[in-house]
Amino acid sequence: MLEQLVEKAEKDCKHIHNKINKTVEINQKRVLDAFKQNRVSDSHFNSTSGYGYDDMGRESLEKIYADVFGGEDALVRPQLVSGTHAISTTLFGLLRPNDELIYITGKPYDTLEEVIGKRGKTDTGSLKDFQISYKEVNLNLNGSINYPSIEENISDKTKVIGIQRSKGYDDRPSFTVEEIGDMVKFIKDINEDIIIFVDNCYGEFVEDIEPLHVGADIMAGSLIKNPGGGMVRAGGYIVGKEKLVLKCANS
């Protein structure tokens, strides 16, 4: 009886496992192609000085991340100790005084609220301290994007639109890359100069393509999640358009 139940369960789940395996193979090939394209060899694993000048390993790793995730450039560093740190670095790199940040997927992770200045003590170095304003657009009751409200909230001050791909700790579905592509098109039709940033934590490699492949300008995430395969203890990445990644590197 037990064996029959196991066989039935395996049969019922087979199509799901097959879909996951196909996604794994597509992403694995993209990673391997990036390794080949950037001619990775044992020389890239040699130790370097702490200054990081002429570090072939680091430079090639960042080219690989850019190729795999569909960006022009990347920062991949252990000094970005978490996803929150990578996102914070991105926001401080892109936003300037009197700019506006809008999250269109509801409230972001709790850990970002003090970075934004939504809560916590004043004068702590948050975005709010630098006169960077913030709005968030709540989702519809069914968890979908509220497009009319987004259009109402976008103003001449709006510099960056934030999208949190994962549901995080909220009771809503995570957004697919296709859905993010729809968000990108909607926003760019309103103002093509608005920078679209995606918090990609937990979203890496779960689909055949990534948000940059559908028009997002820049994204960030943590190496301790999907990219590190559960083995990496620290680190983060920022990938996107070269000029935007450079701003983040200088922040």
Q: Is 6 inside a domain boundary?
A: no
- pLDDT higher for 122 or 190? 190
Q: What local confidence, expressed as pLDDT, does residue 98 receive?
A: 97
Q: What local confidence, expressed as pLDDT, does residue 130 receive?
A: 95
Q: What local confidence, expressed as pLDDT, does residue 217 receive?
A: 98
Does position 224 have pLDDT exceeding 80, yes or no? yes
Does position 102 have pLDDT exceeding 90, yes or no? yes
Does position 235 have pLDDT exceeding 90, yes or no? yes
CA distances from 135 to 97, 159, 183 (A): 15, 12, 17
- Listing from the earlier edge strand, what are the strands of the sheet with 158-164? 73-77, 236-240, 218-222, 195-199, 158-164, 100-103, 133-136
In terms of phi and psi (left: phi > 0; alpha: psi -120 to 50; beta: otherwise), the region of 169 is alpha
- The mean per-residue pLDDT over the stretch 96-121 comes to 92
- pLDDT higher for 50 or 120? 120
Residues 49 and 52: their CA atoms lie apart, in Å, by 6
- Domain containing residue 173: CATH number: 3.40.640.10
CA distances from 108 to 62, 78, 103 (A): 27, 23, 7
Asked if 78 contacts 234 with a C-beta cutoff of 8 angstroms, the reply is yes
Asked if 150 contacts 135 with a C-beta cutoff of 8 angstroms, the reply is no
Q: Residue 77 gets which letter from DSSP?
A: E
Question: What's the token pair of residue 176?
Answer: 């697919």
Residues 101 and 95: their CA atoms lie apart, in Å, by 8
Q: 76 - beta bridge partners?
A: 237
Q: What local confidence, expressed as pLDDT, does residue 6 receive?
A: 82
The proportion of the chain whose per-residue pLDDT surpasses 70, expressed as a percent, equals 97
Q: What local confidence, expressed as pLDDT, does residue 49 receive?
A: 65
Using one digit for the tens of pLDDT, what is the confidence trace for 36-60?
999 988 777 777 666 666 777 788 9
Q: Is 103 inside a domain boundary?
A: yes
Picking from 184, 165, 195, the residue whose alpha carbon sits closest to that of residue 99 is 195
For tokens 């409230």, the residue is 107
pTM of the model: 0.91
CA 23 remoteness from chain centre:
19
Q: Is 23 inside a domain boundary?
A: no
Q: Is 90 inside a domain boundary?
A: yes
Picking from 245, 90, 77, the residue whose alpha carbon sits closest to that of residue 162 is 90
CB atoms within 10 A of CB 8: 10
Q: Is 111 inside a domain boundary?
A: yes
Q: Is 131 inside a domain boundary?
A: yes
Q: Is 14 inside a domain boundary?
A: no
Does position 11 have pLDDT exceeding 70, yes or no? yes
- The mean per-residue pLDDT over the stretch 123-130 comes to 90
Residues 195 and 120: their CA atoms lie apart, in Å, by 27
Q: Is 132 inside a domain boundary?
A: yes
- Domain with 243 in it: 70-249
- The mean per-residue pLDDT over the stretch 215-236 comes to 92
Q: What local confidence, expressed as pLDDT, does residue 204 receive?
A: 96
Q: What local confidence, expressed as pLDDT, does residue 51 receive?
A: 67
Q: How many domains does the chain have?
A: 1
Q: Please give the single-letter amino acid code of residue 59.
A: E
Residue 71 pLDDT grade (very low, low, confident, very high; cuts 50, 70, 90): very high
